[in-house]
Structure formats: C-alpha cells, structure tokens
Amino acid sequence: MRVFITGGTTGIGLELAKLYLKDGHDVAVCGRDLSKLSSDVSSHPRIRCYQVDVRVRAEVLMAVRDFSELGLDLMIANAGRSVGGKTKTPNFEAAIDVMNVNVMGFLHTFEAALAYMLPVGKGHLVGIASVAGMVGLPGASSYSASKSAVIKFCESLSLDLAHRGIKVTTIVPGFVDTPLTRKNDHSMPFLMSVEQGAARIKRAIEAKKVVYIFPLPMKIVMTLLEIMPRFLYRRLMALPMFNYSK
C-alpha cells in the first residue's frame, strides 16, 4: 500500500508514518520543516519526504504527483495548527492562518489525492479533524470553525464518492499529547499519548470507519454538547468553570 501523510514530521502524522512503515508500506510525509524528522525515519528505505507548505496549492500538487507515479492508496490530511491560548478578543491574523492551514491546506490535499484516485476508481481519503469542530468552543472560534469545515466536507464527500469506489474517513480526536496541544494553556481532559492516539486512528482507518470520535468519554461529552439546544449550550458555556479572563 502507498500512503501519503501531510503534517507527517511531528505528532500524530509522524506516529502514523512509523506504524505504516513498520507494516512494510511505502510512505510519504510532508511538512514545512523536514529537520524535525528523526534520522531513523528520514533514512528509512520505504519513506519519501517532501518539504511542503500545505497552504501553497502548487507545492501540495507537485509532491503528491511525484509520489503517486506508482499509485496512491491512502491519503491522510493531517496537517493542522491552532492558536494555543484561548482569548475573548479575536486575533484575525492568527485566525486567517489557522483557516489557511486547516481548511485550504486540507482542500489542497484532497484535491491532489483525488486526481489519482478518481481515474482508477479506488482509494481512501482520511481527514484529521477534532472534537473542537463538533461545537463552537469559547475562545477557539477559528480552530472550531476550521475543524467543523473538515468534518462537514468529509461527510459530504463520503456520500458523493461512495459510488466511485473511494472511501472517506473522518477522524475526530480529543486531546492527544503532541507539539500542537502542548501549546494549550487550558486543561485537556482525557489526554492520551500520541502513540495511543495514532494506534487508534490506524485501526479506524483499517476498519474503513466513516467517522471515528475518540476517546469514548470525550465522545460522550462532545456529542451531548453537540445535540444540546443551543440556548442551553450558551448558558452552560457562560458558567465560571468555562470562563477565562483574556
């Protein structure tokens, strides 16, 4: 199997790359800074590494084209960023960057993959979203909005491509210990290690799940918040325990 992972130099993407390499698959990773890759990964005989900024459509298309000459079976759109700390005052410069990476970068990735999957009528697209996309979290407007876009785009695409032989999986994790989440200055309930998170994601992909939300306690909490009448949700989020001073 041939696997391409964006944002594959650190965190969940890197751990997934290690797992697929261990299983003997051909893997490509891309990231803005390839120096973050450990030598044991970058020198692996079955890996190809591309320095790519997913915000730049041409760079994504070129890297995927280069790797996919021999085919592409699985594309994992994992590249993403957040703003870290919560704030009541919108930071539009940071919000624009979050949207460019998490939404436009995601679209560039799926576009590049489908150019090779649609002609052969097979393949698997995976979007890494977040439970933050299930509701509009206070202090995290751009991140919640960007991950909601990933969730809804994948949901629509799973319906549109079902008859074309292409599977679409939406991964909706809670807090996973990565360089991204370490920037957070708020509590992270049900935090799990990146190794645990990547292993669960890989199993969900292999099972071809349409949507996979984890861990279970976070799934329960966020699903209840998602289906809650919005006036009740707003009242709940106004409680002191969810408040912050910034």
**In the chain, which ranges are E strands?**
2-6, 26-31, 47-51, 74-77, 123-128, 166-173, 211-214
Residue 143 annotated in active site: yes
User: From the DSSP assignment, how many helices (H) and strands (E) are in the chain?
Assistant: 9, 7
Phi first, then psi: give them for residue 179, nearest 5 degrees. Answer: -55, -30
Q: DSSP 3-state assignment of 222?
A: helix
Catalytic residue among 20, 50, 116, 143: 143
Burial of 213 (0-12, 13-18, 19+ CB in 10 A): buried
Catalytic residues, by residue number, are 143
